[in-house]
Structure 1
Amino acid sequence: MLLAASLLLKGLAIPLLTRIAWLDFTTQKISNQNVLLLLCLGLGSLQLLSMQSGSWWDMGLSGLACLLLFVALFPFWVLRKVGAGDIKLMAVVPLLIGGSGLLVFSVLLLGFALATALIVKNPFMLPAGAFRLYVQHLDRKGVVPFGVPISLAAICTIGFVIYITLMPHPGPAI
């Protein structure tokens, strides 16, 4: 029952991450309210999993990753290279996906961030005229909606974690 509740909390984060990605893409803002909701969903999910397994290792690893990401990215906000909302979102994601999903999240984030940067720097690769004009506007302003790749990587990682959790694991070969 605890596992089902934990997976439900992770699943509820997916529409919220979608909303965050859309709002960051259209307004270049990530609200504290949305980040706090993700924080609550992540902490609740991790606590349920920790109670079920009897081990607090995953929660500790996620908390450590959260703290390290915030401390490592904070200077970039001071230098105005990254928005504060992006840093807060990035710091909350490890609590949402759990320590076991950090590697998958990192690889996906790298891929989505490179794709986002490539699209913003080369908007002529895009087919739709209005979308191309919007991306050119972002390029002129010098902003990249980094919440979009963070959210996409988190959504894919949550999906992966849920899939791995629900799939039956084969026993040892005899």
Structure 2
Amino acid sequence: MLSAAAMLMKLLAVPLLFRIAKLDFTTHRIANSNVLLLLCLGAASLFLAGLGQGSWWDLGLSAAAGLALFLALFPFWLLKKVGAGDVKLMAAAPFVSGGADLMVFAIALLVFAIVTVMVVRNPMLLPSPAFRVYVEHLDRRRVVPFGVPIAAALIVTIGLQLAAQVLAAWSS
């Protein structure tokens, strides 16, 4: 029962991740309230899973990874290479993905970041002229909405976790 409640918390994070991605794409801003809500949903999910399993390893690993990501990205924010919202979102991401699935999140983030860079660097590959103009604008301003690939990677990670839980329930 507690693992189902933990997965429900993660599923509640999916619409919030879509909202974060949309706002970052359109306004280049990630609201602190959205990141805080995402952090709370992820921590609640890990807490419920820890209660069910009797182990707090996943919560501790997520907290350590979040702190490490924040400390690693903070200098890049000081150098104006990354936005503050992106740094905070990356620090909250391990709580949503969970410590056990950090590698899945990292691989998905790498794939989505490469796709984002390719789209920004080669806007002529895109079908719509209006979208091409927008991406060319991003390239001229040297602004990339990095919250979009972070949110997409988290959504993929949650989807894979849900699929694994459904398969485990079917097999038992």
Please indicate the TM-score interval, normalised by the length of the shorter structure: over 0.9
Unaligned runs of 5+ in 2: none
- Are 1:63 and 2:97 matched, yes or no? no
Question: Counterpart of 2:136?
Answer: 136
Task: Read off the aligned partner of 1:40 and give its amino acid letter.
Answer: C
Sequence identity percentage: 58
Question: Counterpart of 1:127?
Answer: 127
Question: Counterpart of 2:5?
Answer: 5
Question: Counterpart of 2:40?
Answer: 40
Q: Which runs of 4+ in 1 moved over 3 A?
A: none
Q: How many Å separate the matches in 2 of 1:11 and 1:25?
A: 22
TM-score by length of 2: 0.97
Report deviation, 1:101.
1.0
Report deviation, 1:168.
2.2
Please give the per-residue CA displacement for 1:40-76, whole angstroms capped at 9, x wherever unaligned: 1011000000000000000011010000000000000
Report deviation, 1:4.
1.2
Counting only pairs closer than 5 Å after superposition, residues 1-174 of structure 1 correspond to structure 2 as 1-168=1-168
Please give the per-residue CA displacement for 1:69-118, whole angstroms capped at 9, x wherever unaligned: 00000000000000000000000010111011100000010010011011
TM-score by length of 1: 0.96
Please give the per-residue CA displacement for 1:13-53, whole angstroms capped at 9, x wherever unaligned: 00100010011000100000000000110110000000000
